[in-house]
Structure 1
Amino acid sequence: MTGTAPGPAPAGPFSQAERDAVYRAIRLRRDVRGQFRPDPIDPAILRRLLQAAHDAPSVGLSQPWNFVLIRDPAQKRRLHDAFRAANTEAADRFPDRKALYSSLKLEGILESPVNLCITCDRSRGGAHVLGRTHDPATDLYSTVCAVQNLWLAARAEGIGVGWVSIFRHDDLRAALDLPDHVVPVAYLCLGHVTELYEEPELQARGWGRRAPLDDLIFEDAWGQVPRDGI
């Protein structure tokens, strides 16, 4: 008896409770910096989060991601030093807002029990990947989908996630011993949290505000307002 590939399954909406849970995770997801607790993450939960990331869509099913876990205190200190050097440079780029910038906590590298770097292997799938033939960056976009999957799953699990983007790439690559064809896409801090901001922290702290959705929707071409509303 020969096996057959599984075909399409019936599609339809989730139940109201399931839909509510999905939208709640999206709406209440936060970038965590200073609310981490030191207690460890259960390995079963961490495995579920990594599986959620691995379940992300990817161009040509190339799955270009890898997951580098960082738990060693000495390695965390090395990466924290790299962040501090880059953050000092970054503060100088906001001369009119430097005091506010310097008051913001922008990472939880030492406080969070688990750091995680999600990378993109630019060589995975070979020279020609279905769907990537005319836009080479789609493997990077795919990796960001994995990041978002993990972030939403973490919110549902009660795990906080903070994305640390203020690094010199060369410092990050050197610390993690990344091969030349592997790009660090997201450096994340993960841990249990007791409380979260009710709105994005940068909005709560006065750095910026979320734009109204209606200002961002066009139809058929750039700048054209939808005719019938949405």
Structure 2
Amino acid sequence: MSDVPFSAEERAAVYRVIAERRDMRHFSGGSVAPEVLARLLEAAHHAPSVGLMQPWRFIRIRDTQLRGRLQALVEDERVRTAEALGERSDEFMKLKVEGISDCAEVIVAALMDGREAYVFGRRTLPEMDIASLSCAIQNLWLAARAEGLGMGWVSLFDPQALADLLGMPDGARPLAILCLGPVQGFYPAPMLVLEGWAQARPLEQLVYDNQWGVQP
């Protein structure tokens, strides 16, 4: 037990923000104050990273026309994904998959170039750079929820096309288009559950005891 434990109220706030985080697709315009955006990015920067490589790079998309080109990339992949889904194609096309034109801020989260130089913790698990960036994104997400802001992670895009559009060097790789900003309200449950696309599984189905597939 820590010598300086968090209070019951502080612990409750941590668990609440985790439980109430949502992958948002509906935004209400507005803006994010510079000092709030700075806090969110600082929270992301506090994420753990393998070998302390800090592979994250964040590109703030402030140009309206550039936003439109990002949105076009997403729309292209949305159509391709629908085609790949076969019988669920029409159902998928009814889903709202991004809020690029409506949100206050668009941030592309990417992996830096030169990652091959970092071996510590990655010799057998090179994908730990992705895990590290994902931790940074989750930090940003939770901080945004605590600030009363919505955030959505968009992954429907061709990584090379987006890298080319943003002038990324060889070896750099975009992982997420993040839509961030004020919302009218947060979904009471994950949007894909509300839309009937999928159902969340209970934790007890996903916890094993000593061996794969053995329930406690």
TM-score range, shorter chain: over 0.9
1:20 equivalent to 2:12? Answer: yes
- Aligned-pair RMSD on alpha carbons? 1.4
Which one of 56, 73, 83 corresponds to residue 82 of structure 1? 73
- In structure 1, how many angstroms separate the alpha carbons of the residues matched to 2:210 and 2:45? 34
Q: Which residue pairs with 1:6 in the alignment?
A: none
User: How far does the alpha carbon of each residue in 1:174-212 deviate from its partner, in whole angstroms, 9 at most, with x for none?
Assistant: 111111111111111011112111000000000001101
Which one of 183, 199, 209 corresponds to residue 219 of structure 1? 209
Number of residue pairs the alignment of both structures matches:
215
Which residue identity does 2:159 align to in structure 1? H
Which ranges in structure 2 are unaligned for 5 or more consecutive residues? none
Which one of 175, 189, 193 corresponds to residue 183 of structure 2? 193
Which residue identity does 1:31 align to in structure 2? D
Structure 1 residue 133 displacement after superposition: 2.5
> Residues 98 and 11 of structure 1: is their aligned pair in 2 closer, same or farther, counting only changes over 3 Å?
farther
The structure with more radius of gyration: 1
Structure 1 residue 44 displacement after superposition: 0.4
Q: Which residue pairs with 1:4 in the alignment?
A: none
Which residue identity does 2:52 align to in structure 1? L
Normalising by the residue count of structure 1, what TM-score does the alignment of the two structures yield?
Answer: 0.89
Which residue identity does 1:135 align to in structure 2? L
User: How far does the alpha carbon of each residue in 1:49-92 deviate from its partner, in whole angstroms, 9 at most, with x for none?
Assistant: 00000000001111111110002100001111111111111111
- Residue identity over aligned pairs, in percent, reads 44
- In structure 1, how many angstroms separate the alpha carbons of the residues matched to 2:100 and 2:159? 16
User: How far does the alpha carbon of each residue in 1:17-64 deviate from its partner, in whole angstroms, 9 at most, with x for none?
Assistant: 111111111111011112x12111000000000000000000111111
Matches within 5 A, 1:201-212: 201-212=191-202
Which ranges in structure 1 are unaligned for 5 or more consecutive residues? 1-9
Which one of 19, 23, 31 corresponds to residue 31 of structure 1? 23
1:61 equivalent to 2:66? Answer: no
Matches within 5 A, 1:1-230: 11=3, 13-34=5-26, 36-124=27-115, 127-226=117-216
- In structure 1, how many angstroms separate the alpha carbons of the residues matched to 2:78 and 2:199? 22
| Misfit runs of 4+, over 4 Å | none
